[in-house]
Amino acid sequence: MYTVTKRLEISGAHRLTLDYASKCSAMHGHNWIVYVTCKSETLNNNGMVMDFTHIKRDIADVLDHKYINDIVHVNPTAENIAKWIADKIGTKCVRVRVIESEGNEAIYEV
């Protein structure tokens, strides 16, 4: 089994829709650190599980310096962002770790 992990840094803004009072309901920003892990039993014709630049193109280039609510189309919690990333990458993606801020992270595993 082959495993690759790509680390991304994404700066963006979002606001959460919550059923309780929270400062996170106002638009605010984060410098997210995201780890995307992909696995495959075989390598593609280029000898890769997945090209790191394709992960960057499909995730960081789409989310970086953007208003995340306009892109993910779900309440953009760290958990939902992790799931959105996994879905965007596809079946080879087995784990996404989203670090929203020091001490606050969410992991989505397939």
Segment 7-21, tens digit of pLDDT = 999 999 999 999 999
What secondary structure does DSSP assign to 9-35, as a single string? EEEEEE----SS--GGGS-EEEEEEEE
In sequence order, which residues have a C-beta less than 8 Å from that of residue 41 and are 6 or more positions away? 1, 2
Segment 83-93, tens digit of pLDDT = 999 999 999 99
Q: Which residues pair with 33 in a beta bridge?
A: 9, 99
What pTM was computed for the model? 0.96
Q: 94 with 107: CB under 8 angstroms?
A: no
Q: What domains are defined for the chain? A: 2-109 (3.30.479.10)
Segment 49-78, tens digit of pLDDT = 999 999 999 999 999 999 999 999 999 999
Interval 22-34 mean pLDDT: 98
Helix (H, G, I), strand (E, B) or coil at 45: coil
Residue 38: per-residue pLDDT: 98
